[in-house]
């Protein structure tokens, strides 16, 4: 594919490249300057050689950039790299993780369609489904994350999409992605997995049968809490055309500067996820031995009810640990306020 017209289609890497190599090497087409690090194309529009070429590009007869709401080379590099890491054909980058979920629903669903989502999902996602998408004729029901029978029970002839986050936030409950994909496909539905907590470094939902992967790039993909962004990864038709069409028209696109920040994040993603997992495992183990800690939730602990599934489905347990303390909310708030090294903040995956 010619440089400049990309929607995250992959042209210049091999299947046998490890994810670490993909995270560093995929997607950068060097300019005539021979730069080593990816440039930030801080430009809103691109120039045409002639009026005829402008017309041809707008008509789709000639490849190339037009305007950065449609495509931008720095954003495209991020899209191609993340697609390669997730094992998808196409990726579109978005202004935030929520914009990725919105664009996916707008691109793939229509009035009257029904969504089944896991109940334990990101709060704004519930709000998007219940408060906003419901106004446009999309309805949502919520299943118990790990209970396949519950998902099956909620599927209707109008169900088009199953939406799940695994592991869940914050109690690290898992769903069997391959089994849920099989259920979805048996009923003619798509399976969308929000892969925020594992990232492709630890879990690759598309290889397990999922159709679409969603990211809040804000979290681990950045890894240093600097920028808000998101992405949708999947096949060429649904993501490269249908979801891209929404982005191009409605406009919640990623800025070139944010894309560059996330590109730098992808270079170290695998190493960071290994370190997060190792640190979380030590913390979970330590917490488990503390008096006053009633229960620890971490997929890497043998006491986790889905420890075996986590070991099968993820390469490592991830960086999220939750715990209950004796004494209810007052006691829990005292623990939070007594911490000295931890930040009390609304983000995750930051250093
Ligand atoms: C943060 C988050 C989102 C939303 O992403 P934003 O970048 O904040 O819009 C979606 N899903 C999960 C699991 C998240 O943690």
Residues 170 and 213 both lie in one domain: yes
Residues 125 and 66 both lie in one domain: yes
17 pLDDT band (50/70/90 cuts)?
very high
**C-alpha angle 46-52-54 in degrees, rounded to nearest 5:** 25
Residues 145 and 254 both lie in one domain: yes
Q: Per-residue pLDDT averaged across 277-303, rounded? A: 97
CB-facing half-sphere around the CA of 184: CA atoms within 13 A: 25
Residues 79 and 46 both lie in one domain: yes
Examine residue 85 and state whether it is found in any structural domain, yes or no. yes
CA of 98 to the centre of ligand 1 (A): 6
CA-CA distance, 53 to 62, in Å (whole number)? 7
Q: In the structure encoding, which two tokens stand for residue 307, read together?
A: 């420890």
Instruction: With CA atoms as reference, report the closest residue to 336 among 316, 350, 322, 351.
Output: 322
CA-CA distance, 147 to 118, in Å (whole number)? 10
Residue 219 Cβ < 6 Å to ligand 1:
yes
Residues 251 and 282 both lie in one domain: no
Residue 218 Cβ < 6 Å to ligand 1:
yes
Q: Any idea what the CATH number is for the domain that residue 324 is in?
A: 3.90.1150.10
Residue 215 Cβ < 6 Å to ligand 1:
no
pLDDT at 52: 97
Q: What is the pLDDT of residues 52-69, one digit of tens each?
A: 999 999 999 999 999 999
**Which of 265, 297, 315 is the C-terminal boundary of a domain?**
265
Residues 261 and 279 both lie in one domain: no
Examine residue 195 and state whether it is found in any structural domain, yes or no. yes
pLDDT at 14: 85
CA of 194 to the centre of ligand 1 (A): 9
**What is this structure's pTM?**
0.95
CA of 230 to the centre of ligand 1 (A): 8
Q: What is the pLDDT of residues 185-227, one digit of tens each?
A: 999 999 999 999 999 999 999 999 999 999 999 999 999 999 9
CA of 56 to the centre of ligand 1 (A): 38
11 pLDDT band (50/70/90 cuts)?
low
Examine residue 159 and state whether it is found in any structural domain, yes or no. yes
Examine residue 84 and state whether it is found in any structural domain, yes or no. yes
Residues 320, 172: contact at Cβ < 8 Å?
A: yes
Q: In the structure encoding, which two tokens stand for residue 101, read together?
A: 């979920």
Cis peptide before 167 (omega within 30 of 0): yes
Question: Relative to the CA of 230, which ligand 1 atom is closest?
Answer: 7
Residue 122 Cβ < 6 Å to ligand 1:
yes
Please state, rounded to an integer, the average pLDDT across all residues of the chain: 95
CA of 216 to the centre of ligand 1 (A): 5
13 pLDDT band (50/70/90 cuts)?
confident
Examine residue 14 and state whether it is found in any structural domain, yes or no. no
Examine residue 13 and state whether it is found in any structural domain, yes or no. no
pLDDT at 2: 35
Q: What is the pLDDT of residues 182-196, one digit of tens each?
A: 999 999 999 999 999
Q: What is the pLDDT of residues 92-133, one digit of tens each?
A: 999 999 999 999 999 999 999 999 999 999 999 999 999 999
Higher pLDDT, 261 or 2: 261
Percent of the chain with pLDDT over 70: 97
- Which of 3-7, 88-92, 138-142, 238-242 is predicted least confidently? 3-7
Ligand 1 pocket: which of 219, 253, 320, 347 to mutate (most atoms within 8 A of CB) = 219
**Which of 215, 231, 265 is the C-terminal boundary of a domain?**
265
Q: What is the pLDDT of residues 72-84, one digit of tens each?
A: 999 999 999 999 9
Residues 317 and 236 both lie in one domain: no
Examine residue 310 and state whether it is found in any structural domain, yes or no. yes
Residues 168 and 310 both lie in one domain: no
Question: Relative to the CA of 196, which ligand 1 atom is closest?
Answer: 13
For 302, other C-beta atoms within 10 Å of its C-beta total 6
- For residue 280, what are the contacts with CB-CB under 8 A and spacing of at least 6? 298, 300, 317, 318, 319, 320, 321
Question: Could you give the number of structural domains in the chain?
Answer: 2
Is the Cα dihedral 87, 91, 93, 99 positive or negative?
A: negative
Examine residue 231 and state whether it is found in any structural domain, yes or no. yes
Residue recorded with tokens 């994350």: 145
CA-CA distance, 237 to 241, in Å (whole number)? 5
Structural domain span for residue 197: 19-265
Q: Any idea what the CATH number is for the domain that residue 184 is in?
A: 3.40.640.10
Question: Relative to the CA of 98, which ligand 1 atom is closest?
Answer: 9
Q: DSSP characters for 189-201?
A: -EEEEE-TTTHHH
pLDDT at 169: 86
Q: Which residues of 51-67 are buried (b: 16+ CB within 10 A; e: fewer)?
A: eeebeebeeeeeebbbe
Residue 220 Cβ < 6 Å to ligand 1:
no
């Amino acid at each position: 594919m010619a440089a400049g017209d990309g929607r995250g289609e992959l042209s210049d890497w091999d299947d046998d490249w490890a994810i670490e190599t993909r995270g560093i090497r995929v997607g950068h087409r060097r300019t005539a300057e021979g730069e080593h690090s990816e440039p930030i194309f801080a430009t809103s529009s691109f120039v045409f050689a002639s009026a005829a070429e402008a017309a041809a590009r707008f008509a789709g007869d000639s490849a190339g950039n037009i305007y950065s709401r449609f495509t931008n080379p720095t954003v495209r590099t991020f899209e191609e790299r993340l697609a390669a890491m997730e094992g998808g054909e196409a990726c579109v980058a978005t202004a935030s993780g929520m914009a990725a979920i919105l664009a996916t629903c707008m691109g793939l669903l229509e009035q009257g369609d029904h969504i089944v989502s896991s109940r334990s999902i990101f709060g704004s996602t519930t709000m998007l489904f219940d408060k906003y998408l419901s106004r446009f004729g999309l309805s949502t029901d919520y299943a118990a994350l790990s209970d396949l029978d519950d998902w099956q029970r909620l599927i209707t002839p109008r169900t088009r999409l199953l939406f799940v986050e695994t592991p869940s936030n914050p109690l690290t409950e898992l769903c069997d992605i391959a089994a849920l994909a099989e259920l979805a496909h048996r009923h003619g539905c798509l399976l969308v997995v929000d892969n925020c907590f594992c990232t492709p470094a630890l879990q690759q939902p598309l290889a397990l049968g999922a159709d679409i992967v969603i990211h809040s790039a804000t979290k681990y993909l950045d890894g240093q809490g600097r920028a808000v962004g998101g992405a949708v990864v999947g096949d060429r038709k649904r993501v490269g055309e249908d979801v891209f069409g929404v982005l191009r028209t409605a406009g919640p696109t990623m800025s070139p500067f944010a894309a560059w920040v996330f590109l730098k994040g992808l270079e170290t993603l695998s190493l960071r996820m290994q370190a997060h997992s190792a640190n979380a495992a030590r913390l979970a183990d330590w917490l488990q031995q503390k008096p006053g800690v009633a229960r620890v939730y971490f997929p890497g602990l043998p006491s986790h009810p889905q420890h075996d599934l986590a070991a099968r489905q993820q390469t490592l347990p991830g960086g999220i640990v939750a715990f209950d303390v004796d004494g209810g909310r007052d006691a829990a708030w005292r623990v939070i306020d007594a911490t000295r090294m931890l930040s009390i903040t609304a983000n995750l995956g930051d250093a």
